[in-house]
């Protein structure tokens, strides 16, 4: 299994979901609430407006990444739980099947032991179907 795959490995899935954290909002995103600086030359005003637009876009991207990571973490935890439940169900089914096979084996041994005991009790010259002598 490649190192990038965690499908079916409940421990890896749990470890992945527990370490999955969204990035913190950088302090520079706080300037989004400050109005653009409209004093100065046209270039300064344009740069201030552009900075606000870039900050808003970056903030939206970080919010989307945060939501995706939280959703991913929840999905991985749910999948790990489903794999665990499937493992328990498979183990129970395997145990039930093993019990049936063991019971069939014990029954077969009893049948073989029972048929061997009957042939030992009867004399060799007497047919198998006759229990009492007839005159």
Cα dist from 83 to 2, 56, 79, 119, whole Å: 19, 40, 6, 54
The Cα 5–Cα 104 span in angstroms is: 41
Question: Per the structure block, which two tokens stand in for 91?
Answer: 């183990």
User: Is the pTM above the cut of 0.85?
Assistant: no
pLDDT of the chain, 135 residues: tens digit per residue: 445 665 667 777 777 777 777 777 777 777 767 777 677 788 888 888 888 888 888 888 888 888 888 888 788 778 777 777 777 788 888 888 888 888 888 888 888 887 766 555 555 555 555 555 555
Dihedral (C-alpha) 120, 121, 123, 126: value to the nearest 10 degrees?
Answer: -110
């Amino acid at each position: 299994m490649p190192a990038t795959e965690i499908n079916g490995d409940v421990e890896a899935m749990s470890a992945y979901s527990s370490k999955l954290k969204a990035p913190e909002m950088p302090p520079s995103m706080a300037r989004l609430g400050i109005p653009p600086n409209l004093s100065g030359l046209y270039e300064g005003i344009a740069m201030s407006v552009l900075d606000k637009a870039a900050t808003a876009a970056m903030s939206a991207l970080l919010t989307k990444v945060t939501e995706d990571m939280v959703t991913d973490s929840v999905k991985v935890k749910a999948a790990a739980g489903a794999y665990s439940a499937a493992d328990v169900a498979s183990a129970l089914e395997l145990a039930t099947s093993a019990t049936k096979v063991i019971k069939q084996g014990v029954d077969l041994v009893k049948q073989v032991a029972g048929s061997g005991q009957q042939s030992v009790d009867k004399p060799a010259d007497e047919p198998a179907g006759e229990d009492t002598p007839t005159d």
